[in-house]
Structure 1
Amino acid sequence: MNELEKKSIAQTERHAFRNYQGGYFKTLISPEQSGGSLAILDLVLPAGAEPPPHIHTQEDETFVVLEGKMEVRIGNASVKLEAGESIFAPRNVPHSFKILGEKARLLNLITPGTMWAYFMAFSEPCVGEPKVTKSLQPPSPEQIQSMISVLTNLYQLKFV
């Protein structure tokens, strides 16, 4: 297999949908494509798949709502966002979000893009058409411990 074929396969894998937290996502720009500067994920998540309040010590995040509604808390401020609206969550400031309704589609811009690897590690390739699972199965205690360990030790994320 030549280098062009390898890059084509990697490109296809990056842009394939992946199951994540009862929803799915695809990578629009990987850290590899941006020299590590950023990653952009196109996520569709069901209500209940939101992370607990946390602080990124190494990354900034920007959320752009494409479909649905979300309430985003950054520090002590809370903002409701609808399709077409966005918000910036700087590093070292606690933030969280809540999906208002059954599901939301959003772009997540992560700068720098290193945390993209977390999403890849804790997701699985979609088989068939991607879909939101109506009955969200929570991760097992072992999966939760693994996720917490990776987030806190590798990405220096703090839960509040």
Structure 2
Amino acid sequence: MNAKATASEAFVREPAAGSTLNVLGITHIYKATGAETAGSFSLWESVVPPGAATPPHTHAREDEGFYVLSGELVIEFEGDSAPRRVAPGGFFFGARGRRHAVRNDADKPARVLV
């Protein structure tokens, strides 16, 4: 991406609007993409069904944050001795270069802003 790129204009994305992508059974609804924010950030809502998970992975270029809207997630991250449960209103910061994994062990979907 061009380091001098600028966002073209302000915008509003209505509820349930935005492009979607299914990754490992988890639906991502994109509210703002890097292209729309001149590379400053991306924001999406993830709907994580019961039993769904992301395998342990590491981001080399970006940090990642998870704000739980509903349901509950189990987060594992490098350097922590035990998984942590994150309930609605809870937040997890995944720093670049640190391995982390996310899963839904509950019996209902979780909704998360990432």
Q: For residues 49 and 57 of structure 1, do their structure 2 counterparts lie closer, same or farther at Cα, with a shift above 3 Å needed?
A: same
Displacement after TM superposition at 1:25 (Å):
2.7
CA RMSD of aligned residues (A): 2.2
Q: In 1, Cα distance between the equivalents of 2:61 and 2:105? A: 28
Pairing partner for 1:83 from 71, 79, 88:
88
**Structure 1 residue 17 displacement after superposition:** 5.2
Letter in 1 for 2:78: G
- Which one has the bigger helix percentage? 1
Give 1:1-160 correspondences, 5 Å limit.
15-16=17-18, 18=20, 20=22, 21-77=24-80, 78-101=83-106, 102-108=108-114
Could you give the per-residue CA deviations for residues 108-146 of structure 1, whole angstroms, max 9, x where no partner exists?
1xxxxxxxxxxxxxxxxxxxxxxxxxxxxxxxxxxxxxx
**How does the TM-score come out when normalised to structure 2?**
0.73
Which of the pair has more CA radius of gyration? 1
Give yes or no for contact 1:59–1:90 (8 Å, CA) kept in 2: yes
Q: Which runs of 5+ in 1 are unaligned?
A: 1-6, 109-160
Question: For residues 39 and 19 of structure 2, what CA distance do their matches in structure 1 show?
Answer: 21
* Residue identity matched to 1:62: G
Q: Is contact 1:46-1:99 (8 Å) kept?
A: yes
Segments of 4+ moved more than 4 angstroms = none
What is the CA–CA distance in structure 1 between the aligned matches of 2:48 and 2:21, rounded to whole Å? 10
Can you give the 5+ residue segments of structure 2 that lack an aligned partner in the other structure? 1-8
Give 1:103 shift.
1.6
Q: Share of identical aligned residues, percent?
A: 26
- The count of corresponding residues between Structure 1 and Structure 2 is 97
Q: How high is the TM-score relative to the length of structure 1?
A: 0.54
